[in-house]
Amino acid sequence: MAGFRYVVADVFTDTPLAGNQLAVFTDAREIPEDDLQRLARELNFSETTFVYPPEAGGHVKMRIFTPSTEVPFAGHPTLGTAFVLAGPLQLGEIRIETGRGIVPVRVEREGARINFGWMEQPLPSIEPFERADELLAALGVESALPVELYDNGIQHVYVALGSRDEVAALKPDFQRVAAIGPYGVNCFAGEGASWKTRMFHPAFGVAEDPATGSAAGPLALHLARHGRIAFGDEIAIEQGAEIGRPSLLYARVEGADGSAERIEVGGAAVIVARGEFRF
């Protein structure tokens, strides 16, 4: 009987049972290919990761699955996997091979315990979102900024609302949102260094995500490109309160003239459980 061990971490929080849940299978070499998606569906977290030996110059290779599909990159799985692995590997920076290249994650410690991490994210492509009118109708809102599509391995669309209360009050038509396409829909509001966001991704089997690291970097870029913050500013992003899993993400973008040169997203994580599947 084969046993496949995993670790559960709550990511973008320093409080157990908050943030975004992640399962990390720390050695996936013997897991049959057909069982990867089935395991992710069984756990039913926003994402589950599977760790393999490196192939392209990193410390490890990582594959990421939502409950319904594999994705090349995502933020909270990358940060959470770094927390799980960098401790026993005794690394100050762990380089994780993803479907969008190597993502370095720099970790900070209090004694032996990792308490924070910064990941350098892939730079996204940007284009106007062609189905903006349909999306706004499905959300029941108007956007204060252009509705644009950012792709860093996950396709995210950004909708700017007038206040935090408007973000909290959103009640999307999930069926209509899913029919528009496989996009993460990010609705946000705030000012200065403090922002609130909610992310809906029903086409990927995630009605609402507690914390979306892959969306945090492009959000900072979106704000900088449209003059809401300056390039180089660090912002704090609150997410997940409406579904009972409050999260806190940090993001900063270096660049100029509307173009990003470096995007970093940071946060905490806590390991809350360990388990094993036996087939």
Per DSSP bridges, beta strands 148-151 and 125-128 are antiparallel
CB–CB of 80/214 below 8 Å? Answer: no
Tell me how far apart the alpha carbons of residues 169 and 172 are, in angstroms, rounded to a whole number: 10
* Phi/psi at 118 (5° precision): -120, 125
Tell me how far apart the alpha carbons of residues 229 and 235 are, in angstroms, rounded to a whole number: 9
Q: Which positions are catalytic?
A: 47
End-to-end CA distance of the chain: 6
Q: Find the DSSP H helices in the chain.
A: 33-43, 75-89, 132-139, 164-168, 174-180, 213-225
